[in-house]
Amino acid sequence: MLAFRKQKHNVICLSQQEGFLINDFLNANGVKALSYVVPGARSGWWYYFRHLIFFVKFCWKNNIHVVYSHLEPANFVASLGQYFIKATTYLCRHHVDEGRLYKFDKDIYYYFTYLFARKVIVVSNRAKEYMINYERISEKKILHINLSYDFTLYPKVNEQNVRSVRDQYGAELLLLTACRLTKYKRPEVAIQLVKELSDRGLNVKMIMLGKGEMFDELLSQINELNLRDKVFLIGYVDNVLEYMQAADYLIHPSVLDSSCVTVKEAGLSQLPAIVCRGIGDFEDYIIDEKNGFLVDAERFVEMAADVIVRYHSEKLHREKIGTNLKKSVLDLFNIDNVMAHYDLLNRVS
């Protein structure tokens, strides 16, 4: 939105939720940010009907030419509403198979969203392939455009804070996991990895950032494996990059990603990442042992442990991998390199 604004477009952000923090930020940067919140349950035909009527009226009143809709509830409204407005409408899909995993892919809302969609932007090749091969959605509808980041908006890292994090945990090998603590992010696998590395004789500790419904379950796992002095559940922090720069590896056993933000931030921090092969867009930009490490999801603990043991004494090689990851992330996901794709859509529109 900020990039569109810099190009002198008139940009409006309309949200179905309250827009805490983001609305104030956008308004302060020249983007008119509004919220239309329907009280009560955030589902059901009446809920979506009210949003649909508001969306259609809003687009006509504000003379909207292009709509970029994000996430499934908004996409359902935009998919139906596009037939009642003059704006070219793009549904931006941020997941691959989350519908199947969480069993909402059979919902009538989900079905109608992609039945009536004219154009869908996906953020990874794997998402496009999944939609074509498993959801039987026409390839003609689907556009792949990478996620884009203005990395200059990230706050500068305080090197003293980085050293403080490293000193606080005092491990020869410091691992980091940052994710929602939910089933398909598989944080329990990261904890199993710490146990495996400890059993192999490494002085290792892990910081786990994030919250979720598995928090208590993970605490129990840590206690059962006697890892209370090795695994630390920190919760949410607002200085993730400082934790990343203090760590030796990002451990990311997730099997639910389309284009993972955390791994892009690891790249920005020059932190080597260990991720699952065949998930999201990892193989679009990660080359195994060149700018990261790809392991099998089913053998994550064994294979990640092998990687870490193999490179344990090769700090310079790890640093090179982190440097290479940063270059790949900047080349593919920096907003300056992605905007050309949106410029083409806006011109055509």
Give 154-333's CATH code, choosing from 3.40.50.2000, 3.40.50.150, 3.40.228.10, 3.60.20.10: 3.40.50.2000
Query: What residues does each domain of the chain span?
Result: 2-151+334-348, 154-333
**Strand (E) positions, the chain?**
12-15, 32-35, 66-70, 88-93, 120-122, 142-144, 173-178, 204-209, 231-235, 249-252, 273-276, 293-295
Identify the pLDDT of residue 348: 56
Beta bridge partners of 149: 334
CA distance 116 to 41: 24
The letter for the amino acid at 258 is S
Whole-number pLDDT of residue 321: 97
How far is it, in rounded angstroms, from Cα 105 to Cα 44? 16
CATH of domain 2-151+334-348: 3.40.50.2000
Kindly give, in sequence order, each residue whose CB lies less than 8 Å from that of residue 108, ignoring residues fewer than 6 positions away.
none
Q: What is the dihedral of CA 220, 223, 224, 227, to 10 degrees?
A: 130
Say how far residue 173 (Cα) sits from the centre of its chain.
Answer: 26
One fold for 2-151+334-348 and 154-333: yes
Going from the C-alpha of 48 to that of each of 40, 72, 79, 120, 124, the distances in angstroms are 12, 12, 12, 20, 28
Q: What is the 3-state secondary structure (H, E, C) of 136-176?
A: CCCHHHEEECCCCECHHHCCCCCHHHHHHHHHHHCCCEEEE
> What confidence tens digit (pLDDT) does each residue in 314-331 have?
889 999 999 999 999 999
pLDDT less than 50: residues of the chain: 349
Secondary structure class of 100 (helix, strand, coil): helix
> Contact, 199 vs 167, CB < 8 A?
no
